[in-house]
Chain A
């Protein structure tokens, strides 16, 4: 493993004619679509994650609107119970696994290398693999509508024995299990990759405690993923074995205890909540200081509370099971643990407020979304505290009060924060702004739509409306707030369409507007020290980091009397992005090929085992090809002089990207 200790020397660009030992050659960038499917560039991969996740946001959103339309009126016949059950299951699965997680992965991919001063992630081909495997899993999961006899109909936590063949005879649950296994592989690969990147690829001087809070939160997230996903993997495999091969892990008829599934699911499922929320916490920890013109307040408390949440998140899973019958002592223990996870969370909220306190608040769209995140998450967090009271939870659990709570956390705390990031980093990624005026309209419609949709659910839950019911009778007092909620959801849907319109219009208008320059927001972290959009090689020179918020201190100095003096303009301090001949990892098709094999194996398990052989050959073949292809293409124009590891060093990418001549340490 190469640990980078000095800036990467620029390479001379000298040609090398010798062919490598392997029989395969690597594709070259030619400016066509092939660049995208063969790319190993963390920025392109990040963009693809973002675009694909946004597509699934629309899919999941459409499912949400179908749910709300059905619930608009009592005894509504818009959807049958059967279809409704499939829709709400797939809505949850889609939003969590196919939207929020990959959308956060988009930020992680794009920003971690930039924020720590690296040219790419530690394992660029593995990074491409993560994306393609995730996408193949996501598509596989949704083909259930066409070939699976409908979607899974068991709820996103798919409690056994309702998930067994007897009670869910279509293939929906099989698609659920295999689809999540495939996307789980993607997340696991990505988690290891990004954690190694954070730990090993930091620029000189970028000590762990100089890393931006976003990178820190993403690092914690990667560790949560790395430890949580194996648990759900085990559970899903057992479920799949039960359904496909008549094993009896969850069959109470055979003496199994259905609580086994619940424990396994929530040991994954609760850390999953923090996997969803921590990236958003990180994003707003970048946005709020910039638009308050102050450093983040209590950096070390922010970092340690994030780590504390990461640890404590493992000790609270059974608060999802307060009424499952796990015994009063267990319930008590998990109730107490859950209460005290509110402490580090509260610290974060107070530190964000303290960051704003006394600052000059510039309410750009990004800042609006960030402050919206703080306030909406506070509501979700406080309703969460009311669930931690185990006795009160016996009334609330599985009602709309819970539905309200977790949407305030996941949408209010998670998605609004991700949108803050979208507006904040858009100019860095695409070289033009998202229009601010339209952005603000987007924010307010989304915030109002969100509160109209999910606010009334608190009331409905306390009025006793159960979760996951496809309809309700009149007379229970549910009519009014359900209608309000449905109308709110339409407004929420419109706000998302308006965002897409903003994306389209901003792109169209961009040529007539001044470019944003490297640092349009007067920001603090290293990604703003390179031109916008980020050049392919990220940094002309790997920066040498001297402090936290290093980039800000290249522009400003704090005098002894505490006043801030500008020492350089952003344009002068920023890199020019014109370095030539920077050695970058070569593209590869094999991650894509490998990823295509996995859903074939999935279809094979369900329909015909021979398909597994085809998929297995494709995947296995791609692994061999991957190993045998040279580390980079000797014919490539911008190839450097470090040919001596060609084709011999399967880990060579790490060396090639991070350390150039230093790979002898690898």
Chain B
């Protein structure tokens, strides 16, 4: 009976595996919901997994039972046959109806959750924008492109597909950020998810399921968080070369911090005074000379968003870059574990972006547009100046957020 014993061990091992999976607690875990929607989904899954687990164990148990009880070594010399039962209509109709009833139960559970999480009408939220109190219909436009995410905040406009138009030429927004989306805690936020090139998928597992970002379409979705914190995500629709390197985060702040964040982001940056001995000043000039044809720092290299000469026509807006804790499509941190400005990774990225993240930006054929950040062949001195300058594009985020950005 060793066969059946082995199989029994297999079943036990499988249950162990599932249990181990539930005990996770890692950043992308789908079983640690931190919002209403995610919790509803998780509860639904738990219930159905329980039903499925019982059915699975019954089937496996029946097989093991029969393997133990009914096994014969050989048919040689054995002309005894078991009863030749070919059918039993009552039984068969029964086990057509019973699974159907189970599925009806599952269907009802599903229907309730499905329509609940697709209800994306969010309540208005009072914010102060440029000194005026305004009632924000909390919507954030989420734009994917190879291989990073942009988040756009419009506080006063009525944001819909008509207003937004072409994802490649979106109307100017109050705040444009990249890699990290900031939301107020405990507030349902409506997302309009789109793409500037291929299909991506926006997913913060702790906060909700995912939604594809598809060019030419603004997919409605919703997000919220129970508690302040940093929540991780990963693009989940295969989007080409550096799909694995396309990550994002959502940071939930309490109402006061969120208002502070808005206030800070609304202030344009200022150009440092010219001073050849000051690395920050040299960095600002280097930024305008080398970077500003694709990247915007509002107040320094202009006020209008730039049409970058890459396929998606967009590069991350770097205004208040140092207030973010991640860059390069969510894979590198702007601050080290100790809270220091992450000079090493920033220099590495400026020196050789293709070594951090594969791209199609160098050695292209004539007329072919880059996808990803090209290697500009910057000198070490320019790189160090740029790193120094970028640090001034603050304000610096809180220590809690910096610490929470680290993946343990």
Contact = CB atoms under 8 A, between A and B. Distances in A.
A356 interface: yes
B34 to A, nearest CB: 13
A300 to B, nearest CB: 7
A100 B60 CA distance: 26
A536 B371 CA distance: 60
A269 to B, nearest CB: 15
B75 A298 contact: no
A88 B188 CA distance: 38
Contacts of A383: 52
B199 A475 contact: no
A186 to B, nearest CB: 28
Interface string A334-363: 011001101110110111011011111111
Contact of B70 (A356, A478, A558): A356
Contact of B75 (A293, A347, A465): A293
Interface stretch (B20-28, B266-274, B278-286): B20-28
Contacts of B243: 85, 466, 468-470
A462 B371 CA distance: 31
Contacts of B26: 463-464, 475-478
Contacts of A362: 71-75
Contact of B92 (A335, A347, A378): A347
A398 B75 contact: no
Interface stretch (B100-108, B151-159, B294-302): B100-108
Interface string A295-313: 1111111000000000000
A109 interface: no
Given A349-B59, A361-B72, A395-B205, A466 B235 contact: yes
A463 B30 contact: yes
Interface string A317-347: 0000001110010011001100110111011
Contacts of A464: 26-30, 205, 234
B71, B111, B212: most-surrounded residue (chain A CB, <10 A) = B212
Contact of B14 (A258, A301, A451): A451
Nearest to A168: B240
A563 B86 contact: no
Given A294-B85, A456-B17, A458-B18, A463 B28 contact: yes
Given A389-B106, A391-B44, A162 B83 contact: no
B99 A451 contact: no
A474 to B, nearest CB: 8
A19 interface: no
A465 B201 contact: no
Interface in B185-218: 193, 197-199, 201, 203, 205, 208-212, 214-217
B36 interface: no
Contacts of A342: 99, 103
Contacts of B92: 298, 301, 347, 351
Contact of A332 (B62, B114, B205): B114
Contacts of A426: none
A351 B236 CA distance: 38
Contacts of B13: 451, 455
A474 B26 CA distance: 11
Given A335-B114, A398-B201, A476 B41 contact: no
A463 B21 contact: yes
B45 interface: yes
17 contacts: A159-B198, A167-B198, A169-B368, A343-B100, A361-B67, A361-B71, A383-B52, A386-B49, A389-B44, A390-B114, A391-B117, A394-B208, A398-B238, A444-B6, A451-B13, A459-B20, A462-B30
Interface of A: 80-82, 85, 153-155, 159, 161-162, 166-169, 252-253, 255, 257-259, 292-301, 323-325, 328, 331-332, 335-336, 339-340, 342-344, 346-347, 349-351, 353-354, 356-363, 368, 371, 374-375, 378-379, 382-383, 385-386, 388-399, 444, 447-448, 451, 455-456, 458-459, 461-478, 522, 556, 558, 562-564, 566
